[in-house]
Amino acid sequence: MGFILPDAADVDSPLKFDELQVLRAQYEKEGYYVGVQTKFNYAWGLIKSSTRNEQQEGVRLLSDIFRNAPERRRECLYYLALGNYKLGNYAEARRYNDLLLDHEPANLQASSLRGLIDDKVAKEGLMGVAILSGVAIAAGVVGGMLFKGARRR
C-alpha cells in the first residue's frame, strides 16, 4: 500500500534522452544479475518513450517483473495498465487495471485510468462505426451505379 503511483498523464511525458541513457547504462551494467528496481526504473523510462519499440520493451520488462517478483505485482499492475494503454492495447490495459481495482477499489489513479481507457474505447468504437458506415455508403453508391449501368444495356 505504500507505493505512490503516477498519474496517467505522466506516461505521456518522455524522459530526456540523457535520462533514459542513464537508466539503460545501469540496466546493462548489472547484466544477468540486474536488480528488480533497476529493471523497473528502466521499464518505466521505456514506457514513457515516444518510440513504440521502446514502449513494447518496457511492457515486456514489467511483465517479467510481474511474473518473477511477487512483492512487486501490485505496483506492476498499474504500470502494465499504463503501458498497454499507451500502446493502444485497451483490453490488456483494462484487464491489468481491473485486477488492481479488485484489490484496491479506492485507488484514485487506477479509477482515473479506468475512465481514460473507457473513453478511448468508446471513441475508437465510434470511429470504427463511422468508418464502417462510410464504407457501406460508398459500396451502396458504387453498387447502385453498377446496377444502373447494367440495366441500361
pLDDT in tens, 96-128: 999 999 999 999 999 999 999 999 888 887 554
pLDDT in tens, 126-151: 554 455 555 556 555 555 566 666 66
Confidence of residue 9 (pLDDT cuts 50, 70, 90): low
Burial (CB < 10 A; 0-12, 13-18, 19+), residue 148, is exposed
* Phi, psi (rounded to 5 degrees) for 21: -65, -40
Residue pair 93/58 in contact by the 8 Å Cβ criterion: no
Q: What gap in Å lies between CA 68 and CA 101, rounded to an integer? A: 21
Look up the pTM and report it. Answer: 0.75
Residue pair 62/79 in contact by the 8 Å Cβ criterion: yes
C-alpha cell at 21: 541513457
Buried b / exposed e along 4-28 (16+ C-beta atoms within 10 A): ebeebeebeebeeeeebeebeebbe
